[in-house]
Amino acid sequence: MGQLIHTLPEGSPVWGVTLLAGEIYVVREKGRDQVEVYDVTTYRLQRCLTVPNARWFRDMTSCEHNRCVYISRDGVYRLDVQGAVTWWAVSDKPVGLSVNAAHNVLVTCDRVRKIKEYSSHGDLLRELTLPDDVIMPRHAIQTHSGLFIVCHGSFGDPVHRVCMITADGRHIVHSHGGQRGSDNDKYDVPRHLAVDDNEFVFVADYYNRRVTLLSPTLEYVRQVVSRDQLKCDPVMLYLDTQRRHLYVAEDDWNEEQGKYTSGRVAVFSL
């Protein structure tokens, strides 16, 4: 089980967390200063950055090679370490983001079951349509062998799984999960993923309020973060493979107001 070692300040709902150049980037739902930058060692706030004319973010990832952060909304924002912001449009409502071994951006579009691959500056390189039974994919990561790890299943869907899919996007090689539930072999909205250097898979299980660890062939290993260790529902993950730290963005849903009202980032040592 991971050990909680720090929590970043609670504030507006969090829609992404990542690391770049020895700093932690956190994107929040607010009108300005949406991106908070913290020192990775002291956890002290270094500065805040504003993404103009943007709210309701969906995910965040980073690329050390291109020294930039990507944030999804109606398109993708590219934020470099100096603070310059560029944007490109993505049709089909993008949600999840990741960066592959070629330093390209993978954008998951849930409603059309697609993964779109872009260059660092927004050139569309290819589109993959996922199998028909991969309904509402939220996040996809490409392994070094070229396979895709995809989590799928939203609130009203019967199947909630993590799948390993061939490089052409057509076939499921392995899967974990099935009917929605709370047992170790089930999920209740698998929301976000992280993969380590040995291709073990971390899964943010939203309504079950936990993080599950799977083997490289998607067999259950253990829970690495339990419900008791989280204050709210886990929405995003980032794995610092060098330090073996797992960052979990968790948000509080207010039923009466029908919206997320607050969020924070919890840091776990693995």
* pLDDT tens track for 200-231: 999 999 999 999 999 999 999 999 999 999 99
> Tokens 């799977």 belong to which residue?
214
Q: What is the pLDDT of residue 83?
A: 80
Asked which of 20-29, 85-94, 233-242, 252-261 is least confident by mean pLDDT, the reply is: 252-261
- Closest by CA position to 240, among listed 9, 38, 30: 38
Task: Delimit the domains of the chain by residue range.
Answer: 3-269
Question: Mind giving me the DSSP string for 65-108?
Answer: TTTEEEEESSEEEEEETT--EEEEE-SS-EEEEEE-TTSPEEEE
How far is residue 86's CA from residue 82's CA, in Å, rounded to a whole number? 12
**What homologous superfamily does CATH list for 3-269?**
TolB, C-terminal domain (2.120.10.30)
* Average pLDDT, integer, range 166-188: 97
Please state, in angstroms and as integers, the Cα–Cα distance from residue 137 to each residue in 26, 44, 157, 185, 217, following that order.
23, 35, 11, 18, 19
End-to-end CA distance of the chain: 7
Distance of alpha carbon 159 from the chain centroid: 20
pLDDT at 55 over 80: no
pTM over 0.85: yes
Task: Return the pLDDT at 256.
Answer: 86
Q: Within 13 Å of residue 122, how many CA atoms lie on the same side as its CB?
A: 15
- CB contact at 8 A, 42 and 67: no
Who contacts 83 (Cβ-Cβ below 8 Å, separation ≥6)?
49
**Cα distance between residue 192 and residue 51, in whole Å:** 23
Provide the b/e sequence for 172-193 (b: ≥16 CB within 10 Å).
bebbbbeebeeeeebbbbbbbb
- Summarised one tens digit per residue, pLDDT across range 61-97 is 999 999 999 999 989 999 998 889 999 999 999 999 9
